[in-house]
Every structure is written in structure tokens, then in C-alpha cells.
Amino acid sequence: MPDVAAGPKQLRRLLDAVTGLGSGLDLDVLLHRLVASTVELVDARYGALGVLDPSRTHLSAFITVGIDDETVARIGEPPKGHGILGLLIVDPTPIRLPDLNRHPDSFGFPPEHPPMTSFLGAPVFVDGVVYGNLYLTDKAGGGPFTEDDQEVAVAIAAAAGTAIANARLHERTRELELVEDRDRIARELHDTVIQRLFATGLSLQGAARLAQPIPDLAARIESCIDDLDLVVRQVRSSIFELHPPSVTSAGLRQQLLDLGDDVADALGYAPTFTFDGPVDASVTRELAGHVLAVVGEALANVARHADSPTASVRVRVVGGELEVVVTDEGRGPGDGRRAGGRGMTNMAHRAEQVGGRFAVEPGDAAGTRVTWQAPLP
């Protein structure tokens, strides 16, 4: 640290700079403040922070102080860490040079770059790993940077490492809070809105049967049911957008089982599921979204139209293809089930989107079999 007797004012400036770094939670603002504070403390004309890429072999970002935006634009592409700047990448220890142009590793400057002479560099460590390097050039008065200047730069770099780690943690916390909000909204949509819409649709379906003697009234009720089906699909789509499946979330198997629990009340029983092949490992997130929508629609049709005592879902991966089969033992596809309804059209459209196939046909003994197939990537 600088000599107390020689610079109490300098120590106060250093303390203010460190305190300022600790309060900067936005990472971009923090990095710029780091460079600006160090430039002021060591009386440099120019300063920069080069942020290392994940491989730590070159610079992926370059924050500058002392050069205006117009000059930066004229210089062109920012440095990647060659020449003098690369010295700290190879050996992350502080370095001082009275004239960087005379160093054997100097590459010179690109056109439009301001001339620079004295040089001071210090690495910035975050959680024990080199995050980037702090570069200072052109000491005020034309002389070289001093040992005290180097100690100040190292002290600022150390404080910056802690501040950057805190900023990263704060940013991660905000991301987690956003995810929690999205999860909460998705749960509320799923547990309240969809269930109420589904129950309303079932009630309207019963009213439609009572209204059969009045064709116009029955047709209007059926139209309302179709509209409710569309709203349910739109809400489900919004839920998937709020909380899409990821590598850390439940796989397709578990999501389908959860879907079965969701429709159990409407069916009056839990549907059975059979899985064959590496379903979770083979099905992409996009394709999984189609499968969930198709199975949900097929089971909703069973609840509304089939009057079936059972429903089963088989999902299998075989020969580079995904096959989903939903069967019931109720009324067949031509007896009580709305052929050509929006749900069927939607399932067929999803098959077309992925280059697959869709079919609705009578079951082996009774009921209906829905088959939906899609090629695997």
C-alpha cells in the first residue's frame, strides 16, 4: 500500500474507490467504474479492462476510459490480447513498463490509435480465477508509473474481484427470482384457470345433450365448447412458454405422468401409461411440447366424449421414430365423438409440423385408438 505519511489524501481516495466498487451491483457499470477509479488514483491518461474469454487465451470484451467513442469507432476492432496486452494473459502478475513501445513483444498501434508510452498492468481475480486484466497507460507528467501506483492498482483489482463476484451473485439472484415468478404464474394458470375452464366445458357438454331437441341451441353450445377448448390450449401454451422443459426439469415421462394426474378428476380415474425405449433421451424439448399437447387433447376427448371406463397411453421410441397411442374402451370415433373437431384438427396439424402422421380409428375390441407419430432428429 502507499506510504501513509506520503499520501493520506491518496489513501482516502483509494478507500472511496473501493467503497464505490462495493456498491456497484450492475456488472457493466461496475467494470467501467473499476477502470475510471484506477485511472484517477494512479494519475493515468488512459485505462482499460480486458475481460478474458472462457478459455482464458484472449480477450472477449474491452472497456476503455480516456478515449472518446468517436476515436474508438475509428480504431475499429478491439484488441484480443496480443503483444503487450498478452503478457498478463500468459503470466497474470503485475507489470510496469517505462515505455511499452520498446518492449520486444510490442506490436505497435493500429491507425487512429492515440500514442501511448508508460504502461501499468494488473490481473483481476474472481473466486481465485483470472477474470481479466487492468491496463493503465501514460502517467501524468510524462514519467513512468511508480511502485506505489502498482500497489494501488493491485489493491483496486483485488477489491474489484470481490465486487464482480457479488455482482454476479446479485444477477443470478435476480434470475432466480424471475424464474420463481414465472413458476408461480404458471402454477396459478394451471391450478385455477385451466381447471375451471375444463369444468365449465364439461358442464356445457352436458347441457348440449339436453339441448339436442333444439338444433340451433345445441350448435351454439357446441361452438362455445370449441372456444373453451381453444382457450385451454392457448393457456397451456402460455404455461409452457413461462416454464419450458429444460435439462434440469422433469423429463417427458414425468411430465406425461403429471398430465395424467391433472386429468384424473375429469376422467374419473387415472389413465395408465406405458413407455418403451429411451423416451427422455431421444425426445427434444420442442417435440416433447407437441407430445404433451397431443396426449392432453386426446385424454380430454376421452373425458368429454368416450364414456370409457379406462384410458391408456403408450409412448415408445423405435426405429428412429416416436409413436404415441392413446386408447379407450368407450364409444367409438363415429359414435358420440365429434369427428373433425378442432382438437383432432390441431393434433393433425402438429403431426404435419414435425413431418409425422396422425390417425383416429376404432379400437381392437371397442372404443377409439388415436395414433400420433413423428420422426426423431
Q: Cell numbers of 66, please?
A: 480516456
CA 33 from chain center: how many Å? 28
Same domain for 157 and 294: no
Which residue among 142, 173, 204 closes a domain?
Answer: 173
DSSP-derived secondary structure letter, 339: T
Phi, then psi, of 213 in degrees rounded to 5:
-65, -15
Residue 256 lies in a domain: yes
Residue 29 lies in a domain: yes
Cα–Cα distance, 300 to 338 (Å, whole number) = 12
CATH number of domain containing 135: 3.30.450.40
Cα–Cα distance, 135 to 148 (Å, whole number) = 16
Place of cell 466498487: 21
Least confident segment among 28-37, 331-340, 341-350? 331-340
Same domain for 30 and 147: yes
Residue 357's H or E segment, with its range, is strand 357-362
CB neighbourhood size of 361 (10 A): 11
CA 193 from chain center: how many Å? 26
How sure is the predictor about 238, in pLDDT bands with cuts at 50, 70 and 90? low
Which residue among 153, 173, 193 closes a domain?
Answer: 173
Q: Cell numbers of 347, please?
A: 393434433
Same domain for 129 and 34: yes
Residue 36 lies in a domain: yes
Biggest CA–CA distance in the chain, Å, is: 102
Residue 279 lies in a domain: yes
What pLDDT sits at residue 126? 85
Q: Do the Cβ atoms of 94 and 153 come closer than 8 Å?
A: yes
Q: Cell numbers of 182, please?
A: 414465472
| C-alpha to C-alpha distances, 108 to 82, 118, 336, nearest whole angstrom | 10, 14, 83
Interval 207-224: pLDDT, tens: 877 878 888 887 888 888
Same domain for 34 and 163: yes
Lateral strand order in the sheet of 357-362? 272-276, 311-318, 321-328, 368-375, 357-362
Query: Which residues lie below 8 Å from residue 46, measured CB to CB, with a gap of 6+?
Result: 39, 64, 65, 66, 67, 114, 116, 136, 137, 138
Same domain for 156 and 13: yes
Interval 125-151: pLDDT, tens: 888 888 888 999 999 988 999 998 999
Residue 89 lies in a domain: yes
Residue 301 lies in a domain: yes
Residue 273's H or E segment, with its range, is strand 272-276
Which residue among 130, 147, 173 closes a domain?
Answer: 173
What pLDDT sits at residue 147? 92
Domain enclosing residue 146, as ranges: 8-173
pTM score, whole prediction: 0.47
DSSP-derived secondary structure letter, 78: P
CA 114 from chain center: how many Å? 40
Residue 216 lies in a domain: no
Same domain for 156 and 31: yes
What pLDDT sits at residue 131? 87
Residue 225 lies in a domain: no
**Structural Rg of the chain based on CA atoms:** 33
Same domain for 291 and 161: no
* Rounded average pLDDT over 5-10: 50
Same domain for 260 and 141: no
What pLDDT sits at residue 337? 45
The two beta strands, 357-362 and 95-97, are unpaired
Q: What is the mean pLDDT of the chain?
A: 81
How sure is the predictor about 9, in pLDDT bands with cuts at 50, 70 and 90? low
The two beta strands, 272-276 and 311-318, are parallel
How sure is the predictor about 370, in pLDDT bands with cuts at 50, 70 and 90? very high
Same domain for 145 and 290: no
Same domain for 264 and 162: no
Smallest CA-to-CA distance from 97 within 113, 114, 85 is with 85
* Rounded average pLDDT over 339-363: 84
Helix or strand or coil: residue 318? strand
| pLDDT over threshold 50, residue 2 | no
Cα–Cα distance, 328 to 332 (Å, whole number) = 9
The two beta strands, 368-375 and 129-139, are unpaired
Domain total in the chain? 2
Query: Which residues lie below 8 Å from residue 294, measured CB to CB, with a gap of 6+?
Result: 324, 347, 350, 372
The one-letter code for the residue type at 69 is D
CATH number of domain containing 347: 3.30.565.10
